[in-house]
Amino acid sequence: MKQLTVVVRPFCAETVLEAIQNLGLNSVIVREAKGFSRQKGYLDRYQGSEYNMAFIPKVEITVTVEDERVNEVAEKISKAARTGRIGDGKIFQLNLAQDELLEF
């Protein structure tokens, strides 16, 4: 089993979740996150003065997938999240051993 952690822009999260649901994966964890990479934050204005926001809002989606379906799922998620601009997101893949999974 593999765990895919997907970090996307907030406005892409619904599209990615729909793509995951269309693949038949119903067990998903969604978290709000903040981070930056090549975007280096952005300038914001509050009460007339500008200040630098070092972190950009993101959404982190975690899903567990069988080894055989990892490429299919990653491809569908990538297509759903891609806008063609810097900061579209990242997909992290972790190996999970069967004996590490505890269900209750």
Side chain identity at residue 87, one-letter code: G
Domain that holds residue 83: 2-94
Supply the pLDDT for residue 26.
79
CB 87 within 8 A of CB 39: yes
Supply the pLDDT for residue 56.
81
Q: For residue 56, what is the domain's CATH number?
A: 3.30.70.120
- The verdict on residue 54 lying in a domain is yes
Query: Burial letters for 18-36: b for 16+ Cβ neighbours within 10 Å, e otherwise?
Result: ebbeeeebeeeeeeebeee
- The verdict on residue 104 lying in a domain is no
What's the structural domain count of the chain?
1
- The verdict on residue 23 lying in a domain is yes
0.75 cut: is pTM over it? Answer: yes
CB atoms within 10 A of CB 38: 6
Q: Give me the mean pLDDT over the 79-99 stretch.
A: 84
- The verdict on residue 103 lying in a domain is no
- The verdict on residue 45 lying in a domain is yes
pLDDT in tens, 9-65: 999 999 999 999 999 987 899 999 987 766 555 555 666 665 556 678 899 999 999
At residue 97, the 3 state secondary structure works out as: coil
- The verdict on residue 102 lying in a domain is no
Supply the pLDDT for residue 97.
75
**H runs (alpha helix) in the chain:** 13-22, 70-81
